[in-house]
Chain A
Amino acid sequence: MLAIRDRERSRNETMKKAAEMQEQRQGANEEVTTVEFRTETPEMFEFVLQEGFQVSCVDNCSIREFLCLQLELCGDYTEKNIQTIFLNGKSVDGVDTATLRENDILALSAAMPGLVGAAMRKQGFFAKMRHSISHEGEADNDIEEEGKPCLVTVKLFNLLSRDLARDFLRHGLRFPMERFRTLIERRPKSFFSRLNEVIVNNERLRAPMDLAGSLPPSPGTVQLRLLEMEGC
């Protein structure tokens, strides 16, 4: 038991370091605009979360380790609510056997309607119907990279994007600037009225509505981060 706890602690520390190292690594290579904001309704960023965003991860960790150790999404929530998982477009049945590598794409969804929706569920009754696109699940034996920081793309769909928006945004996530600008320009006034404060590259905007205009015209990446509400 002690060995397991030690391993978990070690993993946890590595995850935190991974996030820091990754930010430094990425920051050196590309133009990153930081957008920090406060809101009581982070789920309104669903439009970003569904398209896929980059977060840091420890190479070769399992999906369960990623969710539990990095995001503290453990136990019941993972089992009951994260019912549909895709790793690089393939349906995952085992969160302990599917491992994440650099540039992988992980998509998470609640249980889905329809026969095909039901077929996509992890270990669902209809799993055989999609066997040709099922993730095989075996761990990657290339352990040389294990424990090193890497970036993965995460997509959050439907109820999970609402449930987990706060968790992911609080940790910070990266999104392509060009697409972010397009999506922000489409937001109605009501979206900005729910933003309490917006800080772009450490400068507080006079009004959240100014967000689109304050974004640089160049491509690159936006680093989005949810700040705690003041007084919390």
Chain B
Amino acid sequence: MDKVIRINVGADGGPTVTEETLGKYAGFGGRALTSAVVCGEVPPTCHPLGPENKLVIAPGLVSGSAASTSGRLSVGCKSPLTGGIKEANAGGQAAQYLGRLGIAAIVIEGEHSGSDLYKITINIDGVKVETDNSLAMLPNYDLCEKLKDVHGDGVAVISIGPAGEMKMSNSTIAVTDPEFRPTRHAGRGGVGAVMGSKGVKAIIVDPGGTKIRKPVNPEKFKAANRTFVEGLKQHGVTGQGLPTYGTNVLTNVLNEAGGYPTYNFKEGRYEGAADLSGETQATLEDERGGAGSSTHGCHRGCGIQCSGTFYDKDGNFVTKQPEYETVWAHGGNCGIRDLDVVAKLDFMDDNYGFDTIEMGVTIGVAMDAGVIEFGDAEAAVRLVEEAGKGTPLGRIIGAGAATAARCFGIERAPVVKGQAMPAYDPRAVKGIGVTYATSTQGADHTAGYAVAPNILKVGGDIDPLSHEGQADISRNLQIATAALDSTGFCLFVAFAILDQQETFDAMVETINGMLGTELTGESVVELGKAVLTMEREFNAAAGFTKEHDRLPSYFSREPLKPHGVVFDVPAEELDSVYAF
């Protein structure tokens, strides 16, 4: 898997396609590869929607193989939302198919002029770029239906909805799941707008005629992969909790902890949380039944199956099982306690191509500003419709929480580097506040995930019960996460590899067996450090300083109910995160 496909949409006479080997990017995959290309080829001061920006799409190092739970697809560019580097990743089928086609990255570059929309088809015979203006402004579901007529449903589609075409700062890139639904999204940072700025509506990845990638060392790979799968199955979180309840299992726990941001981050506990919880959601899905109702994988070969399928009371498909962050963003954060409404909003986000976190937080900002009332579900639906249609108000909503707060004249914009905070209040859980503040990606709960710092010992041993050292732990997690994001493995393997050394070892050996490498825990750490260093340097050259590594000041000023806590990690400690 060493092909890089470059598509220049600004070439004379129409888009050109060139194919090259990884060259200097050899050994990189996923986030490491997208960030390396962006750092190496995109001027940091360029406009994100301008001709100098590039969109890089890369499967992980082991995607396309039989390695379990390895179907993540990374998308990188300079972000229209944050102004810094961005890597957003998604599940779905595309990473596996690209891996099987031997494609390490697709780089879309150049200046798109005119209004033509392109459809790119990639198969075993090569790459074809066609103009297809009949796809213009089609929402993702309608687009997939139309493409199915031509390409069947055995392909994967990477696409943008109207939000991306309108180049909104909140716009995603959708990836189809095993049922050929556009439910998986590289959601954060406005990557859809960059795809839109290149005039690309859809990329069809056809794996026809390809086979699963063969490991360099089949015996080693097979044995390690088996141990890895067993580790996932036997762990309480990956083997039971996530398959049974999905990520929304967190609602009750965060709410009980008083760290569940409610009413646009004004309070830490929501009175309607039980109506939105993973327990309630799983029960509802089980009662309504239907294929893949409460347990489902976002791609074939997933060993965890954390997702599900949400049907209405009459058994009609509504959307995939909304994740915790989505249920929180559209539910508790907005004072809406109806899972059917949340599911409808999730579908609309997927269809238009909006990030659910950014959209939910933006609606919360609009509610806080008095544009609509907290708890007004109909008005929330109307706002998403306006955004999807690009009305004047909708353009503000589609620009994200930071812009909406400026337009509506309120201070309380829960963002870092322009990106909305996810579903964990940093005043209650200060460690995650450190990651929100210092991540290269803007406020992002997955930037410093629970990825085996105890095993990797990135920065030496850490005393878990000491109050000191929030920066140390955030640093370690960000390094380990950057490395895992480069492999193609889903972040959710983190829990099994956190608690089970043998599962971590098996994961590393699975990579080694697949690629013929000799990676160790130390080299994984070095990879993570290299990725973060590149990204940090890009952001610095783009104009970011340590003053951007801060939470909004009201988080230090306004105590969060019920515990009355504020974010009080000193600036000096935040500044020490990148001391490696």
A residues within 8 Å of B by Cβ? Answer: 44, 46-47, 50-51, 80-81, 83-84, 86, 89-91, 93, 107, 109-120, 123-133, 155, 157-159, 161, 188, 190-191
Contacts and interface: CB of A to CB of B under 8 A. Distances in A.
A157 B279 contact: yes
Contacts of A93: 465
B250 A112 contact: yes
A124 to B, nearest CB: 7
Contacts of A116: 250, 254, 259, 424, 429, 432, 445
Contact of A158 (B241, B257, B562): B241
B495 A132 contact: no
30 contacts: A47-B274, A51-B274, A83-B236, A93-B465, A110-B240, A110-B241, A111-B495, A112-B237, A113-B495, A114-B324, A115-B445, A116-B259, A116-B424, A116-B445, A117-B253, A125-B453, A125-B464, A127-B464, A128-B465, A129-B470, A132-B428, A133-B259, A133-B563, A157-B253, A158-B241, A158-B279, A159-B236, A159-B240, A161-B279, A188-B287
A80 to B, nearest CB: 8
A130 B498 contact: no
A89 B258 contact: yes
A57 to B, nearest CB: 19
B45 interface: no
B431 A119 contact: yes
B241 A128 contact: no
Contact of B473 (A113, A129, A188, A191): A129
A51 B252 CA distance: 9
A113 B242 CA distance: 7
Interface string B265-281: 00001000010011110
Contact of A84 (B253, B430, B463, B563): B253
A44 B283 CA distance: 8
A210 to B, nearest CB: 20
A118 B464 CA distance: 12
B469 interface: yes
B244 A158 contact: yes
Contacts of A124: 464
A109 B253 contact: yes
A101 B280 CA distance: 29
B275 to A, nearest CB: 10
Nearest to B495: A113
Contacts of B463: 128
Nearest to B431: A129
B249 interface: yes
Given A111-B241, A124-B464, A129-B473, A91 B257 contact: yes
A190 B498 contact: no
Contact of B428 (A107, A130, A188): A130
B470 A120 contact: no
Contacts of B565: 132-133
Contacts of B454: 125
Contact of B277 (A50, A129, A132, A159): A50
A26 B477 CA distance: 50
B311 interface: no
Given A47-B279, A132-B428, 17 more contacts: A44-B283, A50-B274, A107-B252, A111-B241, A113-B495, A114-B449, A123-B465, A125-B462, A125-B464, A125-B498, A128-B465, A128-B468, A157-B256, A158-B244, A158-B249, A159-B240, A159-B241
